Amino acid sequence: MSAERVIYAADVVYNGVGLPLENAGVLVSSTNTIVAFGKLAALQIQFPEVKTQRLGQAILPRPVNAHTHLDLSQVPFKALPYPRWIPEHIISNQALRGLEGAKIGLEVLRQSGIGTFGDIVYSEEVMKFVLSESELAGVAYWEVLNPMPDQATDIMTQTIERIKGWRKLENNIKIGLSPHAPFTVSSLLLKQLSGFAKLEGLPMQIHVAEHPSELELFRTGTGTLAKSVQKSGFPAFETSWGRKPDPDLTPVKYLAELGVLEAKPTLIHMVNVTEEDVKIIAQYGCSVVSCPRSNFNLECGNIPWKLYAKYGVELALGTDSSASGETLNIREEANAALKYLEIDLKHVVRWAVKGGYRALGIKAPIIQRGDDFSSLIVWE
Ligand SMILES: [Zn+2]
């Protein structure tokens, strides 16, 4: 705390409203109270007697890690093309997945200074742990993965029972639902899960259009992802999806066709999309979470963020698991976005704050005059 008033300056300053300001500052009183936000030049003209202290690249509210898999925190990082990464790395390291990883991951998140997070949860013990132990607010999305249509009813009954039981434990953490991906959950189950989520007001996340081979799968039924899922014992696509692949089909159009987008799920990755896909999700009001490091490491490509901006789709930032995204640190993810996506810091800061809260369905903090400066953090 300074004994005098001071203007704290940074390349980007954000109070949570609209777009972050570039070359801006925060005027802070001797008691560390925020007096004004503004462009640095304007603040310096208005308060000529006040000294300026540069704090770093960005001053912002606590950011959001909108997509994690905490239970994979003990699985080592490995870069591999996505169709190989799940069978060769995640399934072969299944013994390292679970509660111990989730404990480590949650502690890493807590220490990283974020405001909230969205985690994909794959086991009951991890769900109970996150619900009862997390001091951080967030959403724990129960992940469902099952491509067998003849098992859809049983899985749905089991999912409803589990979620009803857990809802009594909701406190800092809200329960959500995550059908894993359009090609790993049968169309019957996808319809039932999204219908249930809509009815119960459960937030949803789905991994969509992650690797180029996912688009190829929906268009042709062939390619590296098609081979990988066939090897894993998935049924024929017509059986699981209730329709054939089609040259005009995309994972997004398939979800729209099934009515899944009516539940307004937050869509994760969305790298390999068409302009029509982006228009469709804009109409439904879906948010998108980008995980640039994971996309790079699994050879998925870069998210076409300008296309999303064109149609007003809100983007958020997530680290994915540390097994594909390297760390659970959202600041490091923001640096990766700057490196891979040719994007300005002000956009990335908005993704990390406003976009993140929107993706999770949690009200974003708005920092105002009169608030303590410690309600903001600094990216040096
Ligand atoms: Zn993920």
- Write the DSSP string, 262-279: GG-PEEEE--S--HHHHH
Question: CB of 56 within 8 A of CB of 12?
Answer: no
Examine residue 322 and state whether it is found in any structural domain, yes or no: yes
Ligand 1 centroid to Cα of residue 4, in Å, is 46
Q: Judge whether 206 and 178 are in contact, CB under 8 Å.
A: yes
How buried is 51 (Cβ within 10 angstroms: 0-12 exposed, 13-18 middle, 19+ buried)? Answer: exposed
Q: Kindly state whether residue 1 falls inside one of the protein's structural domains.
A: no
Same domain, 27 and 138: no
Question: Would 57 be classed as within a structural domain?
Answer: yes
**Token duo for residue 35:** 């007096």
Question: Does any domain span residue 106?
Answer: yes
User: Count of domains in the chain?
Assistant: 2
The answer to whether residue 262 is domain-embedded is: yes
Total-model pTM: 0.96
**Residue 243: left (phi > 0), alpha (psi -120 to 50), or beta?**
beta
With pLDDT > 90 as the criterion, what percentage of the chain qualifies? 97
- pLDDT tens-digit map of 227-285: 999 999 999 999 999 999 999 999 999 999 999 999 999 999 999 999 999 999 999 99
**Are residues 233 and 301 both part of a single domain?**
yes
Q: Is residue 2 scored above 60 in pLDDT?
A: no
Q: State mean pLDDT over 342-347.
A: 96
pLDDT value for 212: 98
Which residue bears the tokens 């692949």? 245
Are residues 71 and 28 located together in one domain of the fold?
no
How large is the average pLDDT for residues 179-199? 98
User: What is the identity of the amino acid at 225?
Assistant: L
134 in the same domain as 20:
no
Domain identity same for 88 and 53: no
Confirm if 195 and 226 have CB atoms less than 8 A apart: no
Domain span at residue 97?
64-360
157 and 52 share a domain?
no
What integer is the mean pLDDT of 180-201?
98
Rounded (to 5) percent helix, strand, coil in the chain: 45, 20, 35
Q: How far apart are CA 353 and CA 357, in angstroms?
A: 6
Residue-wise pLDDT tens digits, 29-77: 999 999 999 999 999 999 999 999 999 999 999 999 999 999 999 999 9
CA distance 285 to 301: 24
The DSSP bridge pattern shows strands 116-121 and 64-68 to be parallel
pLDDT tens digits for range 81-124: 999 998 999 899 999 999 999 999 999 999 999 999 999 999 99
Which residues lie closer than 8 Å to 262 by C-beta, 6 or more apart? 194, 198, 284
In one-letter notation, the amino acid at residue 51 is K
Are 200 and 318 in a shared domain? yes
Closest CA to 251 of 180, 321, 145, 198: 180
**Ligand 1 centre from 198 Cα, in Å?**
22
Distance of CA 127 to the CA centre of its chain: 18
Is the domain of 160 the same as that of 283?
A: yes
Residues above pLDDT 70, as percent of the chain: 99
Tell me the pLDDT tens digit for each residue of 13-25: 999 998 999 999 9
Do residues 229 and 328 share a domain? Answer: yes
Å from CA of 321 to ligand 1 middle: 7
Distance 128 CA to ligand 1 centre (A): 20
For 330, half-sphere exposure in the C-beta direction (CA atoms, 13 angstrom radius) is 34
69 Cα: distance to centroid of ligand 1 (angstroms) = 6
Tell me: do 123 and 243 sit in the same domain. Answer: yes
Ligand 1 center–CA 205 separation, angstroms = 9
93/185 same-domain check: yes
Handedness of CA 94, 95, 98, 101 (dihedral sign): negative
Distance 68 CA to ligand 1 centre (A): 6
Phi, psi of 376 (to 5 degrees): -110, 155
CA of 120 to the centre of ligand 1 (A): 7
Ligand 1 centroid – CA 228 distance (Å): 18
Q: Is residue 18 part of a domain?
A: yes
In a domain? residue 251: yes
Give the model's pLDDT for residue 3.
Answer: 66
CB atoms within 10 A of CB 197: 23
Q: How far is the CA of 177 from the centre of ligand 1 (A)?
A: 13
Positions annotated as catalytic residues are 210
- Residue 347 counted as domain residue: yes
Whether residue 45 is found in the same domain as residue 115: no
Cα angle for residues 143, 134, 99 (degrees, 5° grid)? 55
The interaxial angle of helices 124-133 and 99-111, nearest 10 deg, is 30
pLDDT score of 37: 96
CATH number, domain containing residue 22: 2.30.40.10
Q: What per-residue confidence (pLDDT) applies to 1?
A: 45
Mutual orientation of helices 187-200 and 251-258 as an angle, nearest 10°?
Answer: 60
CATH of the domain at 291: 3.20.20.140
Beta strand pairing call for 288-290 and 315-317: parallel
CA of 178 to the centre of ligand 1 (A): 10
Number of Cβ within 10 Å of residue 146's Cβ equals 21
Look over the chain and give the mean of its residue pLDDT values, rounded to a whole number. 96
For residues 185-208, average pLDDT: 98
